[in-house]
Structure 1
């Protein structure tokens, strides 16, 4: 009898953990609204996975997704002034932006894969509740686009070119 209670308790705990893990993974699943690939292949899937892992990083701020997506010698080809190089610069940029927009959420509107390159059109959303320079947030709604181009080799992003619509962002947080 006592053995059955212990087994039931273990089973209940295992089911609860499985549900929690399953819901966490599902909560961070991101899929592109539009996906286009010139020539679908295993290589294309590898590139898509790297791009989506990087999107998950920007959506969650979780370092594990950035490290999964980015080559260790990753190069940001269009870094903002003062940003550290490589993966560490990306991690710091995310942390700093999340201080200004703590509930940041990212949607992938379009993913295009050609050869070794992925072009991804993002939409960044949230509320500006932090501080950016002299501007102090008061919960303003943030909703602005960005476009990234990734060069991917061996399943990792080795180079990134990006353009964020900061004009829209700053017009929303004034």
Structure 2
């Protein structure tokens, strides 16, 4: 009986561990001039931020972003810093509750990471006067991060809103 209980516990822990690991993103394509500890630190910060957009979990944003993080290309009306990013994610997830992202390409050069994303989900919320009816959302975005001491200090980003808005009609 003890062996059966041990087997059930070990199997359960393995399933939980696998599920947790399966939710962590990896880039489809990863390019770095070197595989130094510095490059891996930059990759970790970039992927923590990607995991934030993939899950909406605040812990990933706080892990990825420098306390004085600056969005260099904020949309009009967005709060500055980490709080603005957290609010943007919550708002977008109201419109696309099953939002998830793929990291198609991660390029590391010096203190910078360039990430090519693909945002996917279904438009089921309400945005302005438009009520979602489950439309498929699939649009690209690109971010450039300046990273120091394992944290993103600055972010420049460009989302393909033309594609997004053509899909929510």
**Which residue number corresponds to residue 135 of structure 1?**
130
Q: What does residue 73 of structure 1 align with?
A: 68
Q: Partners of 2:118 and 2:105 in 1: how far apart? A: 10
- Give the equivalent residue in structure 2 for 1:84: 79
Are 2:39 and 1:44 equivalent residues in the alignment? yes
Q: Give unmatched runs, 5+ long, in structure 1.
A: none
Task: Determine helix, strand or coil for the equivalent of 1:160.
Answer: strand
Q: Secondary structure at the match of 1:31?
A: coil
For residue 96 of structure 1, report the CA deviation from its aligned partner.
0.5
Shift of 1:29: 1.9
Equivalent position of 1:169 in the other structure: 164
1:64-90 superposed Cα distances (whole Å, 9 cap, x missing partner):
111111111111111111111111111
Aligned residues, how many?
Answer: 169
Q: Where in structure 1 do 4 or more consecutive aligned residues deviate above 2 Å?
A: 11-17
The separation in 2 between residues aligned to 1:17 and 1:68, in whole angstroms, is 28
SS at the partner of 2:30? strand
Q: Deviations over 1:118-150 (max 9, x none)?
A: 000000000000011111100000000000000
Tell me, in whole angstroms, the C-alpha distance in 1 between the residues paired with 2:93 and 2:15: 25
Aligned match of 1:157 in 152, 158, 162? 152
Aligned with residue 120 of structure 2, among 106, 121, 125: 125
* Corresponding residue for residue 107 of structure 2: 112
Distance (Å, rounded) in 2 between the aligned partners of 1:16 and 1:83: 45
What root-mean-square deviation, in Å, do the aligned CA atoms of Structure 1 and Structure 2 show?
Answer: 1.5
Look up the match of 1:23: 18
Q: Which has the larger radius of gyration?
A: 1
TM-score, length basis structure 2:
0.93
TM-score w.r.t. length of structure 1: 0.91
* CA spacing shift, 1:43–1:105, aligned 2, 3 Å: same
Which is worse superposed, 24-33 or 143-152? 24-33
5+ residue gaps, structure 2: none
